[in-house]
Structure 1
Amino acid sequence: MPHIPLPEQLPGITGLLEYRLDTAQPIRELTQILLRGESTLSPGERELIAALVSSRNCTNFCEAAHTKAADLLLGDDETALAVKQDIETAPVSGKMKALLQIAALAQRSGKAVTAEAVARAREAGATDREIHDTVLITALFSLYNKYVDGMATVAPADPAYYQMLGERITSRGYVRPPGGYPVQTH
């Protein structure tokens, strides 16, 4: 049960973002820029970073949502699972393996990101902006994960919910729908 009253029909981060629209707006805008804005990393690759970080932070809602978004964007349901299990054997490029390792390091601690990890990414073809954005996506999802868990939001158990949420994320991105979300009546 959430620590504060939140809209029951909006579990996870969605209810929190509706609770404080003024703080939600800049967070949503940053998320939209990082995960859907101009980038040499595909939206699916960026969702993999979000799914990995959320998985390592043990935030069920965010892990399920971003795993499903990655699955839909990548066109399979195995890559995100493989990344979360073992980055080095996952079916992604050498560049993505290096960037995902940077995300894994940054998730533990910003100071855990080493010059060697950055050099590996550069050697694999990663640009400075890709390295930057990987660390920033990691930091942003660590914020989301702590927000969701720190407020004890609800994480639905039904996989159909995350299918719907993944479809919403991939089709609309991270912007709030005009007028907000429909109120559920019982």
Structure 2
Amino acid sequence: MPYIPLDENLPGITGLLNYRQDTALPIRQLTQILLRGESTLTEGERELIATVVSNGNQCRFCTNAHTAAADVLLGETETAEKVKNDPDNAPVTEKMKHLLEIARQTQVSGKNVIADLVAKAKQAGATDLELHDTVLIAALFSLYNRYVDGLASVTPTEPAFYNRLAGILKTNGYLPSANRYAALNAD
């Protein structure tokens, strides 16, 4: 049960963003820029960063939501599961493996991102902008994970909910819109 009154039809971060819309707008804008804006990393790769960080923080809502979003954007379900549970054998590029490790270390502490990790990522082809955005996405999702869990937001257990949410995120991104979540709780 959430610690504050939230719309029961908007679980996870969706209810929190609805609760305080003035703070929601900059959150949504930054997320849109990082996960859907111009980048040499694909939208699916950026969702994988959100997935591994959320998984590392044990935030079930965000892990499920961004795993589903990565699956939809990548068009398959193996990669997100592998980056969470068997990253060495995940079907991603060497560059992405290094960026995901940097994301994992950022999730623990920014001080865990050491020069050796950065050098390996650069040797594998990571650009300065990709390094920047990986660390920022990881830090941002650590905040989101703590936001969702810190206020005990509702976490659905049905995979169909996350599949619907992933479809919304793929189609509409992260910016607010009228009736954004109208289909979220459809049966």
TM-score (norm 1): 0.96
Deviations 1:17-50 (A, max 9, x none): 0000000000000000000000000000000000
What aligned pairs does 1:48-63 form with structure 2 within 5 A after superposition? 48-63=48-63
Deviation at 1:68, TM superposition (A): 0.4
Specify the code of the residue in structure 2 equivalent to 1:131: L
Greater shift in the superposed pair: 94-103 or 83-92: 83-92
- Name 1:123's counterpart in structure 2: 123
Moved >6 Å (runs of 4+)? none
The aligned counterpart of 2:132 is 132
1:160-180: CA deviation from partner (whole Å, max 9, x where unpaired): 000100111111100112266
Determine the C-alpha separation between the residues in 2 that align with 1:92 and 1:49: 12
Unaligned ranges ≥5, structure 1: none
User: After superposition, where does 1:133-148 map in structure 2 within 5 Å?
Assistant: 133-148=133-148
| 1:45-103 CA distance string (max 9 Å, x none) | 00000000000100000000000000010110010000001222111000000000100
| Identical pairs, percent | 62
SS at match of 1:155: coil
**Is 1:27–2:27 an aligned residue pair?**
yes
Q: CA deviation at 1:181?
A: 4.5
User: 1:71 matched to which residue of 2?
Assistant: 71
**Structure 2 CA distance for partners of 1:19 and 1:46, relative to 1, 3 Å:** same
2:157 paired residue number: 157
Q: Secondary structure at the match of 2:47?
A: helix
Corresponding position of 2:111: 111
Computed over aligned residues only, the root mean square deviation of the Cα atoms, in angstroms, reads 1.3
Q: Distance in 1 between matches of 2:86 and 2:50?
A: 15
Q: TM-score scaled by structure 2?
A: 0.96
- Unmatched 5+ residue regions in structure 2? none
